[in-house]
Amino acid sequence: MHVIDSHTGGEPTRVILDGAPDLGTGPLAERAKRLADSHHAFRNAVLREPRGQPAMVAVVPVPPTRSDCLTGAIYFDAGAVLGMCGHATIGLAVTLAHLGRISLGSHRIETPAGMVEVTLDDPNTVTLQNIESRRVRKSAPVTLPGQRRVTGDVAYGGNWFFIVDPSPLSVTVDNIPALTDLSIALREAANAQGIGGEAGQPIDHVILNEPHPDNTGQHRNFTLCPDNDYDRSPCGTGSSARLACLAADGLLPPDTEIVQHSVIGSQYRLSYQPGPCGGVVASIVGQAFVHAETRLFFDPRDPFNSGITT
């Protein structure tokens, strides 16, 4: 299997250039469901150790259904197949540029969540225009064990988020284990208590956000992903969901750029335009760097051929 690995703000992406299963034709959401339902072993083998690493997201380029799109893209991490992934889309664009398949300028990519646009500003810098994002519930109360209540906004940015702002815990590297435990508990409680999308979609990501300590008006976040690992980047779909919340509360005008930091200090520059359906269309500027091009081998004699899942 031929893959190229990159990272966007520290968050790893693996683009699978050949060797992925045939997902057939039709809408990308249907092909993504086939990947989720029928290829669990493949996903583990690609992303879990010893071949993969924590937090890595894989991208399978597929033929698009739209003639105006450069490619289709289906995303997955070790825990789930994703509707959209911001950092991985930025990584995909930089990877395609590394291969000489795209040049500077704008290109459209079809995802299971909808069409997005990437603008390659230089070989490593990408402006991603995401699908329309929206907030569906403000200050939803979640009851944790021990009757502790935490409120957060439910928002969609290509994935489903429960966003707590401000975070009950300081968003620092030293607190990553505690932030992880709290975020897992919040997601489990929210889903058990029926707090999710309008049609009952479950929460798959949790964001804990706080003002940056430099007092410049910037913010930093901790984002829990479906594989129970944290996003090293500020999370593209999560940043889009947060922009929808800020816009809904009248706290950020259109075309106003802000900087979002991750828990490890990487940054996205963010702004938005009003969306046609009442949400926001986020613009995310980030950088990705290719760091490996390799062949993965799958030997049936290898006791960990399907990945380490314990």
Sketch the domain layout of the chain as residue ranges.
2-130+290-295, 132-285
Residue 171 neighbours by CB under 8 Å, 6+ apart: 179, 208, 209, 210, 220, 221, 222, 263
Q: Are 237 and 85 in contact (CB under 8 A)?
A: yes
Query: What integer best gives the mean pLDDT of the chain?
Result: 97
Q: 205: which strand partners?
A: 161
Beta bridge partners of 267: 261
Residue 134 pairs in a beta bridge with 156
Q: CA torsion angle for 60, 66, 67, 71 (degrees, to 10)?
A: -10
- Read off the pLDDT of residues 198-215 as tens digits, 9 standing for 90 and up: 999 999 999 999 999 887
* pLDDT-above-70 percentage for the chain: 100
Q: Would the pTM of this model clear 0.95, i.e. be above it?
A: yes
The reported pLDDT for the residue numbered 216 is 81
| CATH 3.10.310.10 applies to domain 2-130+290-295 | yes
Give the closest residue to 246 by CA, choosing from 116, 87, 135, 85: 135
Q: Tens digit of pLDDT for each residue in 60-91?
A: 999 999 999 999 999 999 999 999 999 999 99
The answer to whether 2-130+290-295 and 132-285 have equal CATH topology is: yes
Which residues of 196-274 form beta strands (DSSP E)?
A: 205-211, 219-224, 258-262, 267-274
Q: Could you confirm whether domain 132-285 is CATH 3.10.310.10?
A: yes
- Per-residue pLDDT tens for 94-147? 999 999 999 999 999 999 999 999 999 999 999 999 999 999 999 999 999 998
The backbone torsions φ and ψ at residue 220, rounded to the nearest 5 degrees and listed phi first, read -135, 155
Active-site annotation, residues: 85, 235
